[in-house]
Amino acid sequence: MNLDRICDNRTPLRVACLALDDSKGRDMAVCIAKLTFERTPGGGLRLAVPQAPVRMRDEHFGPLAGQSGAEKGFRIMTSVRYPSDRYADKPGTDVLLLGTAWPPPGETVGKVEVRLRLASEGRMLLDKAVHVYGVRTWYRGVMGLSRSEPQPLRPTPLRWELTYGGAAEKGGAASVIDWRNPIGGGVGVEPEDLVHTPAPNIEGPEASLGAGIPPPAGFGPIPPTWEPRRSRHGTRDALWARERAPLPPLDFDPRANSCAPPDQHMPEPLKGGEACEVIGATRDGRWMFSLPAYGPRFEAVVRGEVASLPSHLDTVLIDGDEGRIELTWRASLPLPRRTNTLEVMRVGGALPRPLLLDYVERVRARRGQGAMP
């Protein structure tokens, strides 16, 4: 149910009000708010024009060059670019990174390191690296299956298609599927199936250049049908279908709503002000900034009574290609049986005046050019 008719948004944030079931199966009135910043030429942050929308479904990249995007026995064949925001609750904070691995300007290299770091008050919260290689192939070495030396690296998108995973077919059906990343490469019914085929471009630093098949490595969103989210949806067997559906299973794990790779999920929500560093995933090689120390204020008016609603920053999406950062919050309350008694869901919270004035000026300029803000 769409509740936008009762939404009172007093900010530049993009907001959606919905009726959704929470992880316990309760009917909830949910207000989702998103604020987008963009990188300035001087390296700072300003409010983005236009602001990114609240998304009702996962939005995928198109196929990579040379990839048809056809199905191979499972539904999703390209990486998620922007994850759905349509959840009643999300524990902790998901930290996501989109971007492209670039070789250093003027250099020819076969490998670069992409790194995402997040720190607060001198304490490292997240320090993750992957290695991105030029084109390589699998070959049969003395010690088993190995990867060839890389060709010179070209700009390489940080996408799940280019790391380990995938599915292997035998007899016209997908008989081996890596549900951690069913669209990757490197899965074979037999090791010999991989010889002379492309090896993954993206690996974790723990993967050696020699023998062995590495696990998937990436920074982007994980769809709900992949592991570990897949197992967190709970037991949906005949008993559940007969006695509980459509409510979530009793063993449903709320982390099923979290789309970040497990090592990029912060159980303790971020508060804003954390120092962030992205290395190797932007054209200039390094992007350093602090997460904006801002949080919207949520209120609900029920039968004339005003109540403040708790919330936390639950998603941080960093887009190195676009130079944009999306911050998402949500707040909820049980949906009254008589929905008309829920009169207003309000989003407020003042932004710094210089930031707001700059935003208003650019919105007006955009409108003057005939574009939507």
Sheet with 275-279, edge to edge strand ranges: 202-203, 123-133, 111-120, 275-279, 286-290
Residue 173 has pLDDT above 80, yes or no: no
| Tens of pLDDT, residues 300-347 | 999 999 999 999 999 999 999 999 999 999 999 998 888 789 999 999
| Tens of pLDDT, residues 126-150 | 999 999 999 999 998 887 788 899 9
> pLDDT at position 142, please?
81
> pLDDT at position 73, please?
42
* High-pLDDT (> 70) share of the chain, %: 92
> pLDDT at position 372, please?
62
> pLDDT at position 130, please?
97
- Gap between the Cα atoms of 39 and 47, Å rounded: 9
> pLDDT at position 332, please?
96
Q: What is the arithmetic mean of pLDDT over 25-51? A: 95
308, 296 Cβ separation under 8 angstroms: no
> pLDDT at position 174, please?
58
pLDDT band at 64 (very low <50, low <70, confident <90, very high): confident
CA distances from 142 to 123, 139, 150, 211 (A): 44, 10, 19, 9
Q: Of 177, 189, 193, which Cα lies nearest the Cα of 73?
A: 177
The mean pLDDT value of the chain amounts to 91
> pLDDT at position 42, please?
86
Domain extent listing, the chain: 4-343+353-368
Cα 280 to chain centroid distance, Å, stands at 18
- The values of phi and psi at residue 261, to 5°, are -50, 145
- The residue count for the chain: 373
- Gap between the Cα atoms of 93 and 328, Å rounded: 9
- Gap between the Cα atoms of 117 and 274, Å rounded: 10
**163-199: burial string, b at 16+ Cβ within 10 Å, e else:** bbbbbbeeeeebeebbebbbbbbbbbeeeeebeeeeb
- Gap between the Cα atoms of 291 and 270, Å rounded: 9
pLDDT band at 274 (very low <50, low <70, confident <90, very high): very high
What distance separates the 2 farthest-apart alpha carbons in the chain? 76
> pLDDT at position 158, please?
98
262, 180 Cβ separation under 8 angstroms: no
- Gap between the Cα atoms of 78 and 97, Å rounded: 16
Tell me the torsion sign for CA atoms 315, 316, 322, 324: positive
CA distances from 214 to 82, 117, 190, 200, 367 (A): 26, 22, 16, 9, 50
327, 292 Cβ separation under 8 angstroms: yes
358, 47 Cβ separation under 8 angstroms: yes
List the beta bridge partners of residue 13.
none
Least confident interval from 73-77, 212-216, 313-317: 73-77
